[in-house]
Amino acid sequence: MTTQTTAAKTPDTPTPAAPRGLVGLPESAGRALATAGGVLSVISTFLAWTWTAEFPGDLTVYGYPGGLQVLVLVGGALTALFGLASYNIKGLRWLVPAGADSALKLAALGTFVTAWYTVIAISVQLGGVVNLEPGGFVVAAATLLALLGALALPFERPAPDPFDPEDTGWEQFRHKARHQGAVIKAAFATGPVKAPTRKLPGFAEILVIVAAMALGLLVFTYGIGTEYDELFVGFLIIAGFGFAALFKAGLTSRVSAITAKHRNVTLIGAFVAAAAFPFTQSDDQYATIGVYILIFATVALGLNIVVGLAGLLDLGYVAFLGVGAYAAAMVSGSPSSPFDFHLPFWASALIGAAVAMVFGVIIGAPTLRLRGDYLAIVTLGFGEIFRIAVLNMDGTSGPDITNGSNGISSIPNLNILGFDFGQEHTIGGFTIARFANYFLLMLLITLVVVVVFRRSSDSRIGRAWVAIREDETAALAMGINGFRVKLIAFALGATLAGLAGTVQAHVTYTVTPEQYQFAHVVPPNSAFLLAAVVLGGMGTISGPLVGAALLYLIPAKLQFLGDYQLFAFGLALVLLMRYRPEGLIPNRRRQLEFHEEAQAPTVLSKAGA
């Protein structure tokens, strides 16, 4: 025993080196520097950054942050908060259940990028750094110091994977690349896991859900209401890094666990928060974007049944939206319609949904025996057939039903129980205009679709869809009627798309074939719908809703990029798919598929979590 103890203390025994950060500063100094830099960044937003109001946002006022200063204020506050939490302060432990170091790095990086983007934009637009006031120099130095301090925090370098001498050169290259990627990823990996905090009481968990919904409404309202291009770019930067920091801190996982525990409260809270959006707007400008986002999101959620649950790759799904829109337009009293009908909305909505379901069964019955790429090609062909068919039904190339390229126009506004959706109404002292009315109507339809998706995914047929998606051959061997199950998914998805199309027809006043192409400049189209499902997270409820909102809002706000808009958009998608292939709000099963190093949970969450 004595010999072993002596041998353990001999100089020949290697001592493991203490982990170091990317910057050669002591850990204590880096932590203090990052925290102080975050505080100084907050203080700098109350100083003037430029002397002239020609730069948008009026950054010339002392004591009142405006424009991009507000975003840097948020980033600096997060940096300072995570910096204080990294000292393991008792009152802040609940905010960083997975550790604060990684979150501190991301928050400092986001604040640095936003601040330096603003300083560079001021210098370029106004003609040099001479146009900066002292606050501009202070924020540049403060965010740089905060970033250097955050990068000085240590991280554990992962051990390399052992090489197999029988591996080929390519396999050895993959081992090296995987190790290098793990080293880089570890630089921003979560810090040491803290001790579990005490469980919150039930009322406190409800308050957490309310706070999360209020924060979501605030972020969405601010993003959709950005008045100029520079502000929206800064919003994207700080929002992206901010939510990434919250995720690395483990706070989003904790809130997700609370919302999963109180699913009904979460659903009601989300509906109330969304319904409050029109009341936050002073005019109908941004409510217009909101109603189109809801239409896009509802259709994406319907596609999520087909792609996310059943695993059927449908590239012509937007055609079902067009079927519902055309069917509703023909029976809603439009003078361009060949049918002299003016049915109430509930009847036109049922007709649009039923016709779309019939088309879904007609198209799905002969094609759903195909799999994979073959099914995708057939559905893509259906989408083009629909567009060409309605284009040729102009009375010249075919029967006079859809007016060809002119479409069905002058669709009247909805009138439900005497409530005219085309007129302004005053509710509780707030004036609600046309698009706000349709926003609230579309919100109700979205709620119906969410309930249908949730009930379907939790049912026996929903479990059969997941089984088909995971392994169709194994599912068939277990006695599942694969064709019937896939046909139900196809028909249900088509029905929900047709239901959304009935509202779209009245919102846009006109339905034309160009609106329902596979790839169109303005969503919704089949390519953007599929991207919304994959980006948000297949098999979930909130994933496609968030993905659709981002995919509609970002292109609408990035129009100033001109020809480079799709390039920037595509680059962002590539980066997201590289670093988060499971989607923004992933299903737990898919998250485990893409992250093999993650430990399997004891109980897998439901498909609609």
The structure tokens listed for 496 are 């929900």
Residues 561-574 have a mean pLDDT of: 76
Measured CA to CA, the distance from residue 456 to residue 174 in angstroms comes to 41
Q: What is the mean pLDDT of residues 434-445?
A: 88
248 Cβ contact partners less than 8 Å away, ≥ 6 residues apart? 98, 102, 103, 106, 188, 190
Report, as an integer, the average pLDDT of 433-457.
Answer: 88
- Residues 210-237 pLDDT 10s: 898 898 889 988 888 888 888 998 999 9
Looking up tokens 């997700």, which residue turns up? 256
Percent of the chain exceeding pLDDT 90 equals 19
Provide the β-strand partners of residue 132.
50
Buried b / exposed e over 225-254, threshold 16 CB at 10 Å, is bbeeebbbbbbbbbbebbbbbbbbbbbbeb
12 band by pLDDT with thresholds 50, 70 and 90: very low
DSSP 366-401: HHTT--HHHHHHHHHHHHHHHHHHHHH-BSSSS-BS
Residue 178: per-residue pLDDT = 53
- Cα–Cα dist 206/183, whole Å: 39
Give tens-digit pLDDT for 358-410.
999 998 888 888 877 888 888 888 888 888 998 888 878 778 888 888 888 88
Q: Pick the more confident residue, 163 or 439.
A: 439
Residue 318 and residue 526: Cα distance in Å, rounded?
Answer: 5
Gap between the Cα atoms of 546 and 583, Å rounded: 10
Residues facing residue 432 across a β-bridge: 425
pLDDT single digits (tens) 273-304? 888 888 887 777 788 888 888 998 889 998 99
pLDDT in tens, 450-476: 888 888 888 899 899 988 888 888 888
Model confidence at 201, pLDDT cuts 50, 70, 90, reads confident
Secondary-structure class of domain 282-555 per CATH: mainly alpha
| Percent helix, strand and coil across the chain, each to the nearest 5 | 65, 5, 30
Q: What is the pLDDT of residue 5?
A: 44
Among 208, 217, 297, 214, which residue's Cα sits nearest to residue 259?
A: 208
Going by pLDDT thresholds of 50, 70 and 90, the confidence category of residue 601 is very low
Mean pLDDT, the chain, whole residue set: 81
Q: Which helix (H) or strand (E) holds 431?
A: strand 430-432
What local confidence, expressed as pLDDT, does residue 29 receive? 87
Burial zone of 268 (CB within 10 Å; 0-12 exposed, 13-18 middle, 19+ buried): middle
User: For residue 111, what pLDDT band results from cuts at 50, 70 and 90?
Assistant: very high
Judging by DSSP bridges, how do beta strands 430-432 and 425-427 pair with one another? antiparallel
* 284 contacts 422 by C-beta, under 8 angstroms: no
| Distance from C-alpha of 329 to C-alpha of 513, rounded to nearest angstrom | 13
d(CA 179, CA 186): 10
pLDDT band at 193 (very low <50, low <70, confident <90, very high): very low
Q: What is the pTM of this model?
A: 0.79
Judging by beta carbons within 10 Å of its beta carbon (0-12, 13-18, 19+), is residue 11 exposed, middle or buried? exposed
User: What does residue 341 show for φ and ψ, rounded to 5 degrees?
Assistant: -125, 145
Residue spans per domain, the chain: 27-159+168-252, 282-555
Mean pLDDT of 128-139: 90
- Hey, what are 248's tokens? 């690395």
Contact 115, 241 (CB under 8 A): no
CA 56 to chain centre: 28
Q: Would you call 10 helix, strand, or coil by DSSP?
A: coil
pLDDT confidence bin for 108, thresholds 50/70/90 = very high
**Which H/E stretch holds residue 166?**
none
Confidence at residue 121, expressed as pLDDT on a 0 to 100 scale: 92
> Given the structure tokens 């880089």, which residue do they identify?
184
Antiparallel, parallel or unpaired: β 415-416 and 419-420: antiparallel
Confidence class for position 22, pLDDT limits 50, 70, 90: low
Task: Please tell me whether the peptide bond between 524 and the residue prior to it is cis, using omega within 30 degrees of 0.
Answer: yes
**Looking at residue 21, what is its pLDDT?**
62
Whether residue 189 has pLDDT greater than 70: no
Q: Rounded to whole angstroms, how far apart are CA atoms 467 and 261?
A: 25
At 523, the pLDDT band (50, 70, 90 cuts) reads: low
Residue 354 has pLDDT above 90, yes or no: yes
What are 415's strand-pairing partners?
420
What is d(CA 228, CA 238) in angstroms, rounded to the nearest whole number? Answer: 16
Taking residues 51-58, what's their average pLDDT? 86
- Maximum mean pLDDT: which of 379-383, 425-429, 571-575: 379-383
Task: For residue 238, name the pLDDT band (cuts at 50, 70, 90).
Answer: very high
Rounded distance, CA 305 to CA 307, Å? 6
Element (H, E) at 50: none
Q: Scanning the structure block, which residue is given the tokens 């060809």?
A: 404
